[in-house]
């Protein structure tokens, strides 16, 4: 594609777009090939401008930067460089142009919030396809369409990956695409240029504060999605949902709410074993979904509300949500053993409460906290686990560059002395799961939290193969066979 066509819609502050052929685009200098356009973006740890000259040496046709200092430096050296207002927005626009602007031919739905994004997205994806509307999905667990799903590397992919995926889904004949939209993705303008048909706000609790700095900035990042959406569906029972509804009222755009306090889609009753009674503008509808926990009643109601507002009949929706299974989200792998992605204090508390209500025996939890992430949540999660569970095993969960024993120490520090007798630290995750299974009685429930769908452990810069589900099946089979480990 010629450079002027690639940058259509990108205001150039300085430098002209020469009529050269561009063979690809990237913001990673390691991916540059001859004829590529390199976008120098500034990250939290690395400034892409420092790799501009390296990219040019590797054959980049030009550099796009939003730094006047770097523009002047490269220009003075006679290098091909373009100055834009925002490199990340320019990258998203260029990616959309490169892949033929697929977003303009798709109805794209977005879901954001601290917890519930994956489940709500998956519910929308499954329900739409069951309703006879071909839909694709882009999220934490996977991306693709019903005939072929591919593993995802992150919640919201890079702008280049995102528009490439959208083109693929359009080519597969999808009418809708349901996207999880992370706060990082919004803050970094990865979805810039997309007008969402509808968007859902699930909830907001402290998370990613190591990146955003504070809860207010985290909320403002999430709120960006609703400036890009024609329709907003907001959790009325969440304090930040109320704030978001007020912002939408000022900024314009249609907003409906859901929740126990909502007058639009009212949660009239929730059975934590898997059903919710929803009051709708067309009357009350009971939806049997078979996902455990009150929080899943909220997720189902969110998805139901959005699809209802898009014109789908409530009675048809009632059938569309039956028996949807979400990988790694309150997934009962073997009887009484649940794997869940809960990796925030709020999510862990909700998962434990849900199982505690349904369990007639003891409640056991295996969990850890991720390394190189918000450290303030570690003692909080320790206290929640020890307060709600009868037995707690603290283990490793993607320690990354941190010593696992230090992470575990910070988790245990939050547990009151009188509750520490129920706590065991076993840093080997497989061994921790084995200990939990050995101690589990027939009436007991075991929650293995933190990793959910993930099939790796991230340790010292490497991703080592590890799946909670596969580990449970292996050890459970061995236990039932009477084998030794």
485: in domain? no
Is 113 annotated as ligand-binding? yes
Is 418 annotated as ligand-binding? no
pLDDT of residue 113 exceeding 70, the answer is yes
Q: How many folded domains does the chain comprise?
A: 3
Is 115 annotated as ligand-binding? yes
Is 214 annotated as ligand-binding? no
Tens digits of residue pLDDT in 366-398: 999 999 998 999 999 999 999 999 999 999 999
Same domain? For 271 and 193 the reply is yes
Is 42 annotated as ligand-binding? no
Is 469 annotated as ligand-binding? no
What is the value of pTM for the model shown? Answer: 0.85
Residue 484: pLDDT band (50, 70, 90) is: very low
Tens digits of residue pLDDT in 443-469: 999 999 999 999 999 999 999 999 999
Residue 485: pLDDT band (50, 70, 90) is: very low
Is 119 annotated as ligand-binding? yes
Is 387 annotated as ligand-binding? no
In sequence order, the 6+-apart residues with CB closer than 8 A to the CB of 57 are: none
pLDDT reported for residue 237: 98
**Of 20 and 28, more confident:** 28
Is 217 annotated as ligand-binding? no
Is 151 annotated as ligand-binding? no
Is 29 annotated as ligand-binding? yes
Asked if residues 339 and 141 have their Cβ atoms less than 8 Å apart, the reply is: no
Is 154 annotated as ligand-binding? no
- 97, 121, 152 - which closes a domain: 97
Same domain? For 135 and 72 the reply is no
Same domain? For 86 and 22 the reply is yes
325: in domain? no
Same domain? For 357 and 302 the reply is no
pLDDT of residue 399 exceeding 60, the answer is yes
Same domain? For 280 and 361 the reply is no
Same domain? For 157 and 290 the reply is yes
- 97, 113, 139 - which closes a domain: 97
Is 93 annotated as ligand-binding? no
Is 450 annotated as ligand-binding? yes
Same domain? For 360 and 445 the reply is yes
Helix (H, G, I), strand (E, B) or coil at 271: strand
- 65, 97, 129 - which closes a domain: 97
326: in domain? no
> How, if at all, do strands 331-334 and 265-271 pair?
unpaired
Is 457 annotated as ligand-binding? no
Tens digits of residue pLDDT in 126-163: 999 999 999 999 999 999 999 999 999 887 899 999 99
Asked if residues 378 and 411 have their Cβ atoms less than 8 Å apart, the reply is: yes
Is 114 annotated as ligand-binding? yes
Parent domain of 381: 331-480
Asked if residues 238 and 261 have their Cβ atoms less than 8 Å apart, the reply is: no
């Amino acid at each position: 594609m010629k450079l002027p066509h690639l940058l259509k819609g990108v205001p150039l502050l300085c430098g002209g777009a020469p009529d050269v052929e561009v063979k690809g685009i990237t913001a990673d200098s390691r991916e540059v090939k001859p004829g590529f356009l390199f976008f120098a973006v500034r990250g939290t740890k690395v400034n892409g401008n420092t790799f501009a000259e390296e990219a040019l040496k590797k054959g980049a046709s030009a550099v796009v930067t939003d730094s006047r200092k770097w523009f002047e430096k490269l220009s003075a050296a006679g290098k091909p460089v373009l100055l834009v207002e925002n490199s990340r927005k320019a990258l998203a626009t260029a990616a959309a142009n490169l892949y033929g602007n697929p977003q303009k031919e798709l109805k794209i739905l977005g879901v954001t919030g601290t917890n519930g994004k994956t489940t709500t997205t998956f519910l929308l994806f499954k329900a739409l396809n069951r309703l006879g509307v071909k839909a694709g999905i882009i999220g934490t667990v996977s991306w693709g369409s019903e005939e072929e799903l591919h593993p995802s590397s992150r919640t919201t992919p890079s702008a280049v990956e995102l528009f490439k995926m959208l083109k693929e889904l359009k080519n597969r004949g999808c009418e809708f695409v349901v996207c999880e939209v992370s706060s990082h993705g919004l803050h970094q303008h990865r979805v810039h240029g997309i007008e969402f048909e509808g968007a859902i706000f699930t909830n907001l609790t402290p998370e990613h504060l190591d990146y955003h700095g504070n809860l207010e900035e985290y909320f403002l990042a999430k709120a960006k999605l609703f400036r890009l959406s024609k329709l907003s569906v907001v959790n009325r029972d969440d304090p930040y949902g109320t704030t978001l509804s007020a912002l939408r009222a000022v900024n314009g755009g249609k907003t409906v709410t859901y929740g126990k306090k909502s007058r639009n889609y009212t949660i009239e009753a929730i059975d934590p074993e898997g059903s919710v009674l929803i009051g709708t503008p067309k009357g009350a509808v009971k939806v049997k979904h078979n996902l455990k926990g009150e929080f899943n009643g909220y997720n189902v109601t969110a998805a139901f509300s959005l699809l209802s507002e898009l014109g789908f009949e409530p009675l048809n929706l009632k059938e569309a949500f039956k028996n949807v299974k979400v990988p790694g989200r309150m997934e009962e792998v073997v009887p009484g053993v649940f794997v869940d992605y809960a990796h925030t204090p709020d999510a862990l508390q909700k998962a434990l409460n849900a199982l505690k209500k349904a369990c007639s025996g003891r409640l056991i939890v295996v969990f850890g906290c991720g390394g190189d992430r918000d450290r303030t949540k570690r003692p909080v999660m320790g206290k929640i686990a020890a307060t709600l569970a009868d037995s707690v095993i603290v283990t490793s969960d993607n320690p990354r560059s941190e010593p696992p024993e230090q992470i575990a120490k910070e988790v245990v520090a939050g547990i009151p002395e009188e509750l520490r007798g129920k706590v065991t630290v076993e840093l080997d995750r497989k061994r921790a799961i084995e200990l939990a299974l050995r101690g589990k009685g027939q009436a007991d429930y075991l929650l293995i939290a933190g990793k959910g769908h993930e099939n790796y452990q991230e340790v010292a810069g490497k991703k080592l193969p590890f799946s909670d589900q596969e580990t449970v099946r292996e050890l459970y089979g061995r236990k039932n066979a009477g084998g030794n480990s």
